Copies of this chain bind each other. A is one copy, B any other.
């Protein structure tokens, strides 16, 4: 891999922001530093870095995919209310893999888990509003 300033900026943007940005959000952020960068370059690098395992792509059921600099096994929840994406703290799903192999003979290699719901802050806002 050859060095480029663009790639460095893109990588930094994802790893230093725990907000799970979309490609377009990365583009907007990086553009502040390098206004000439193109969206194509952002996509190419995000995909490239994901393939190398330096980033992770989080496919979203609706809207743009997101990117994550955290590499250890973990999952995500998107808040229906504010749209933010959070890391989820829960037990690994690896026990499930064993169960599936025993029952159906499938070898599980990857897991995409995305939960939807309401984050703590939005629950509080809803509560406050209800209370008047």
Residue positions of A touching B, CB distance < 8 A:
59, 61-62, 77, 79-80, 86, 88-91, 96-97, 99-100, 103-120, 123
Number of copies of this protein chain within its complex: 2
Inter-chain CA distance A77–B117, complex, in Å, is 23
- Given known pairs A111-B115, A113-B112, A115-B110, the reply for A120 and B91 (CB within 8 Å) is no
| B116-A104 in contact (CB<8A) | no
- Given known pairs A59-B62, A100-B90, the reply for A116 and B105 (CB within 8 Å) is no
Which residues from chain B contact A119 at a C-beta distance below 8 Å? Answer: 105-106
Inter-chain CA distance A111–B110, complex, in Å, is 16
| B80-A89 in contact (CB<8A) | no
- Given known pairs A90-B100, A115-B100, the reply for A77 and B123 (CB within 8 Å) is no
Inter-chain CA distance A113–B59, complex, in Å, is 11
Inter-chain CA distance A123–B105, complex, in Å, is 9
